[in-house]
Structure 1
Amino acid sequence: MSELVGTRVPMYTPEFAADPHRVYRETRERYGSLVPVELAPGVPATLVVGYRTAVRILNDPERFPADPRAWQAGVPADCPVLPMMQWRPNALRNAGTEHARYRQTNTAGLTGIDHYGLQGTVERVAVSLINSFCAAGSADLVRDYAFPLAFRVLNQLLGCPVEIAAQAAEGFRAVFEGVGADRGNKMLIDALLELTQHKRAHPGHDVTTRMLHHPAGLTDTEMVHQLATLYGAGIEPQQNLIVNAILLLLVDDRFRGSALGGSLSTREALDEVLFDDPPMANFCISFPPRAVLIDDCWLPAHQPVVISMAACNTDPAIRTAEFAGNRSHLAWGAGPHACPASSLAYLIAQEAVDQLLDALPELHLTIPATELTWRPGPFHRALLSLPVAFTPAPPLPEPH
């Protein structure tokens, strides 16, 4: 038994973002399943890169609770990862009865979504966006397609008016980027409070209204933080899932040989992305309230333990025929904090990819894949841009 010691691996650098899988490989060989890392300068954590170890931690909320309050007491207010990790009255950052109360409310709001209607919503948004650039013969699929699609679809699900949504989006991007994160956090909170009060006064058939009417009786403040969680899960990771799947379909010969846009190819690409390049590569953070022994190693109290879904999914110990070709990945998490909206995210991504590739089957990258830039940050796996070209095409008919 030992403490985790060694040079901490920085997870916030452009070098890490450019080739994280090399870092996962090398650190696994050096440290085993538990790697000492820095999430930001001066912010130590343990990164879990072993699949079976991660599953044990994710299913052990007593020793590995998600409440960060003791940790954040010693973190400066301007820490760039604090807005992503700090305590909030939501399911993501609580344990026990409070976690159950918040999660039940979220689940009730999401369960009321009609999957068939959602497919139609994604189609309408996708066609509108494709029509905005199809005649140009080129586009950046991050800026022009994946981000606005995830944003618009989520706002329709939440019943969020356009002007409130614009402020929320700007705030959340700052939080995710860690640039002006404190100001971004305030912008997001203010926008979501306005949405909460708007839906109390003007209820509708949407996720926000269903959550407001749940028997748990959440306050305005609590509702703001549930909505912040939905924005966090519904925009950035959704955008990354769509973009990473499109990239795989465009550059991998296994997919290029089939009809682009065919649903089977899209499903296979999504599953592979969720295994190898999940949109949230490192997350599912817990904060042990006391020193804890796991894998013959003592982890210190109140120091973040971060699950690397990307590294765990590619752990050689589980990449065997037993796991190949199925959905045993950890991209949605596991245990009591597993993502309750995974089927919705999958549906949105598949419809978004299919609509694009059906409309523009000759889509191709304008630069080599090796020259694409991955955005720095310890948590996401996100391209800065995805520039493509195609034969200019007339606008698609608008679906009814």
Structure 2
Amino acid sequence: MTAQQSFTVSGPVRLWEDGFARNPHGYYAALRAQGPVGWAELAPGTPAYVVTERRAALDVLRDVETFSHDPRGWEATVPEDSPLLGMMRWRPNALFSDADAHLRYRTTLIDVFDLIEPHDLRQLVHRAVRLLVDRFGPKGEADLVTDFTRPLMALVFNNLFGLPDSQGDRLNEGLLKMMEGGAQAAAGEADFVEYVLRLIAAKVEERGEDLPSMLLDHPAQLTPEEVTWQVFLTLGAGYEPTTNLVSNALSRILGNPLYYSTLTSGARPVMDAVIEVLHHETPLANYGIYYARRPVSFHGAWIRPAIPVVVSFGAVGLFAEREDTGGRRAADASHLSWGAGPHACPVRHHALLIATEAIEQLTLWLPDLDPVLPRERLSWRPGPFHRSLTSLPVRFSPRSPDQPGETS
């Protein structure tokens, strides 16, 4: 079955099975055949409504009177060992709150991220790229997922959150397990929670020039517990999706030699590849999760409370109509990967800066990257929430650490 084939199913479309990772477009087509709102399972026996049409998605994202982000009604209906709880369990943070609580948490996040100067963030990415290229450059080969994108984000986000470079592996492993929503999800959640708890305990004792310290000192006076869950949200939501955004974009770039040549020559901006990924392989494919406050008829479906309503950014981007005269701005807006309404991503510009700078710097240092496998043979991690490569092997001309660079 190719990545573009569709198929028919009886019963809910099972987003938890391995076939979804291999052929998401086919699964989205099966959902779309049911109408704007399809019927799916996020895990065995755990149903969800999945919104695949842009107008219906916007209605969910913007209608705070009908839909809530609070999952506690649903949470009471699933077993405590559900593999979904790591990603969907209620916590006192901006993602799982509504109204005044949401505004309070969201405002603190916007305020502290606004203190990060773009120049400083750009230099942080440049340092991380240089460090990693120095590690694998002499070999003339690398896996751009395990050797580059994942350790790159660990270096960048540990720096932003006040942790040493050496802590990257622990961050990486916990998030990997939790995001996949499989048998190891609970262990991954526990590891990541412990990681964040230790971080906040350290910052309570001694502040630094980092995001957790800024949150602790914010005029909103968040408690250490509230800061813990804001960091749990922002560290996870920053690290994992941005990792996948970079690796997905690199795979599309390297899989098309003509495309790659226009990027490395400067004739085409890296942002074009990033926007293409947000349409066709968005990193958080199915994580716009809401709950109806009461039974409601919605775009041809009868929505019951305590069953997740999932805005499928993956399906919406795939099926979104392109405006003939809108250019890049219209294309960028139509995928909805950043959300919309009160819960739209508040730090999208930071994520875009990290992603584009990482790709630009890598291709400057290593301009002759050559994929080992054709794109159709790359493998993808399982799980209902994300679109994430397991590996991206490449070859290139070896580069010694002391070799003069094309960038600074």
Query: Counterpart of 2:3?
Result: none
Structure 2 residues without counterparts, runs of 5 or longer = 1-8
Is residue 52 from structure 1 mapped to residue 55 from structure 2 by the alignment? yes
- 1:14 aligned to which of 18, 23, 27: 18
Q: Residue type of the partner of 1:44?
A: P
Q: What's the offset of the Cα at 1:397?
A: 5.6
Q: Residue type of the partner of 2:397?
A: T
Check whether the contact 2:15–2:384 (CA below 8 A) recurs between aligned residues: yes
Check whether the contact 2:18–2:382 (CA below 8 A) recurs between aligned residues: yes
Distance in 2 between residues matched to 1:254 and 1:301, nearest whole Å: 49
Q: What's the offset of the Cα at 1:108?
A: 1.5
Distance in 1 between residues matched to 2:365 and 2:324, nearest whole Å: 36
Is residue 337 from structure 1 mapped to residue 343 from structure 2 by the alignment? yes
Distance in 1 between residues matched to 2:31 and 2:179, nearest whole Å: 25
Q: How many residues align?
A: 394
> SS where residue 45 of structure 1 aligns?
strand
Distance in 2 between residues matched to 1:254 and 1:292, nearest whole Å: 49
* Cα 1:98–1:263 shift into 2, 3 Å: farther
TM-score (norm 1): 0.94
* Cα 1:292–1:253 shift into 2, 3 Å: farther
> SS where residue 298 of structure 1 aligns?
strand
Is residue 25 from structure 1 mapped to residue 32 from structure 2 by the alignment? no
Q: What's the offset of the Cα at 1:191?
A: 2.0
Q: Residue type of the partner of 1:342?
A: R
Give the superposed CA RMSD: 2.0
Query: Counterpart of 1:69?
Result: 72
Is residue 80 from structure 1 mapped to residue 83 from structure 2 by the alignment? yes
Query: Counterpart of 1:356?
Result: 362
Query: Counterpart of 2:319?
Result: 315
- 1:394 aligned to which of 371, 375, 400: 400
Query: Counterpart of 1:198?
Result: 202
- 2:254 aligned to which of 233, 250, 254: 250
Is residue 129 from structure 1 mapped to residue 125 from structure 2 by the alignment? no
Could you list the per-position Cα deviations for residues 220-278 of structure 1 after superposition, in whole angstroms to 9, with x for gaps in the alignment? 21111111111211111011000011111111255134142738431110111112111
Q: What's the offset of the Cα at 1:132?
A: 0.5
- 1:224 aligned to which of 215, 224, 228: 228
* Cα 1:140–1:163 shift into 2, 3 Å: closer
Structure 1 residues without counterparts, runs of 5 or longer = none
- 1:118 aligned to which of 81, 96, 121: 121
* Cα 1:184–1:319 shift into 2, 3 Å: same
Could you list the per-position Cα deviations for residues 159-218 of structure 1 after superposition, in whole angstroms to 9, with x for gaps in the alignment? 124566554443222211234222322222222122112122222222111111112211
Could you list the per-position Cα deviations for residues 328-385 of structure 1 after superposition, in whole angstroms to 9, with x for gaps in the alignment? 1211111111111100000001111011111111111111211110111101000010
Check whether the contact 1:53–1:295 (CA below 8 A) recurs between aligned residues: yes
Q: What's the offset of the Cα at 1:324?
A: 5.2
Q: Residue type of the partner of 1:106?
A: L
Check whether the contact 2:71–2:89 (CA below 8 A) recurs between aligned residues: yes
What is the 5 A alignment of 1:374-385? Answer: 374-385=380-391
Is residue 234 from structure 1 mapped to residue 238 from structure 2 by the alignment? yes
> SS where residue 339 of structure 2 aligns?
coil
Which deviates more from structure 2 when the two are superposed, residues 84-93 or residues 176-185?
A: 176-185
Check whether the contact 1:241–1:273 (CA below 8 A) recurs between aligned residues: yes
> SS where residue 209 of structure 1 aligns?
helix
Check whether the contact 1:83–1:181 (CA below 8 A) recurs between aligned residues: yes
Check whether the contact 1:164–1:195 (CA below 8 A) recurs between aligned residues: no
* Cα 1:39–1:261 shift into 2, 3 Å: farther
TM-score (norm 2): 0.92
Distance in 1 between residues matched to 2:404 and 2:82, nearest whole Å: 48
Q: What's the offset of the Cα at 1:322?
A: 4.8
Check whether the contact 1:46–1:306 (CA below 8 A) recurs between aligned residues: yes
Distance in 1 between residues matched to 2:99 and 2:87, nearest whole Å: 21
Distance in 1 between residues matched to 2:301 and 2:373, nearest whole Å: 45
* Cα 1:166–1:32 shift into 2, 3 Å: same
> SS where residue 53 of structure 1 aligns?
helix
> How much identity, in percent, do the aligned residues show?
39
Could you list the per-position Cα deviations for residues 51-105 of structure 1 after superposition, in whole angstroms to 9, with x for gaps in the alignment? 1110111001221110000100011111111110010011101111111111111
Which deviates more from structure 2 when the two are superposed, residues 284-293 or residues 174-183?
A: 174-183
Distance in 1 between residues matched to 2:357 and 2:130, nearest whole Å: 11
Is residue 298 from structure 1 mapped to residue 302 from structure 2 by the alignment? yes
Distance in 2 between residues matched to 1:387 and 1:57, nearest whole Å: 39
Q: Residue type of the partner of 2:162?
A: G
* Cα 1:325–1:22 shift into 2, 3 Å: farther
Distance in 2 between residues matched to 1:323 and 1:83, nearest whole Å: 39
Distance in 1 between residues matched to 2:235 and 2:172, nearest whole Å: 8
> SS where residue 47 of structure 1 aligns?
strand
What is the 5 A alignment of 1:267-286? Answer: 267-286=271-290
Q: Residue type of the partner of 1:46?
A: Y
> SS where residue 68 of structure 2 aligns?
coil
